[in-house]
Amino acid sequence: MSPAEISLARRRDAPRLAAMSRRLVEAGLEPSWTAERIERHVAHDDSVAIVAKLRGETVGFAIMQFGDTTAHLNLLAVEPRVRRAGVGRALVAWLEESARVAGTFTVDLELRAHNAVAERFYRALGYRETGRIRGYYQGAEDAIRMRRELAVALPTLPAG
């Protein structure tokens, strides 16, 4: 289990999360996740933005947006120095649980087609490819679309 502590992001986290997104997710692209855009997600009822902290230091974050039937994982990043320690898995598990609580049992996402690490990560978490979108990232890079159907835990009925 990851030792990271997960909590809701606050508006004042937005500049730091935008900088992490530029460096860790959007490298080589025109940055689209500005502090203002992230702040809107922090404030909006249809989105959940969370941060992972280790010894008080922000080492990862994720943003998910809820639609009527599907939740969309918009952003996820973990600092390189703490990777492979379960922080990414813990962030996604937290968001999936909040989707279940909201009654949303499908999560989808797009990732950069050349991001083999993220593809392996999402596959390990049960996500499956549902398609590819040519030029999705500013016409410069394709996207892989992935999806996970969240298991519904059925109540155990008493025998007889």
Ligand X SMILES: CC(C)(COP(=O)(O)OP(=O)(O)OC[C@H]1O[C@@H](n2cnc3c(N)ncnc32)[C@H](O)[C@@H]1OP(=O)(O)O)[C@@H](O)C(=O)NCCC(=O)NCCS
Which residues of this chain interact with ligand X, rule CB under 6 A? 24-25, 75-78, 83-89, 111, 115, 117-118, 120-121, 124
Nearer to ligand X, 8 or 29 (CB): 29
What does the block give as tokens for 13?
A: 């986290």
Return left, alpha or beta for 50; rule: phi > 0 is left, psi -120 to 50 is alpha, else beta.
Answer: beta
Q: Is 56 in contact with 8 (CB distance < 8 Å)?
A: no
Nearer to ligand X, 89 or 157 (CB): 89
Nearer to ligand X, 6 or 87 (CB): 87
One-letter identity of residue 70: T
Shortest Cβ 159–ligand X spacing (Å): 37
What does the block give as tokens for 91?
A: 């962030």
Q: Who contacts 84 (Cβ-Cβ below 8 Å, separation ≥6)?
A: none
Question: Cβ-closest residue to ligand X?
Answer: 88
Shortest Cβ 30–ligand X spacing (Å): 16
Shortest Cβ 156–ligand X spacing (Å): 29
Nearer to ligand X, 10 or 114 (CB): 114
User: What are the phi and psi torsion angles at 122 (to 5°)?
Assistant: -65, -35
Nearer to ligand X, 42 or 112 (CB): 112
Shortest Cβ 12–ligand X spacing (Å): 22
Shortest Cβ 63–ligand X spacing (Å): 10
Q: Is 63 in contact with 41 (CB distance < 8 Å)?
A: yes
Give the Cα separation of 32 and 52 in Å (integer).
22
> Longest C-alpha distance within the chain, in Å?
62
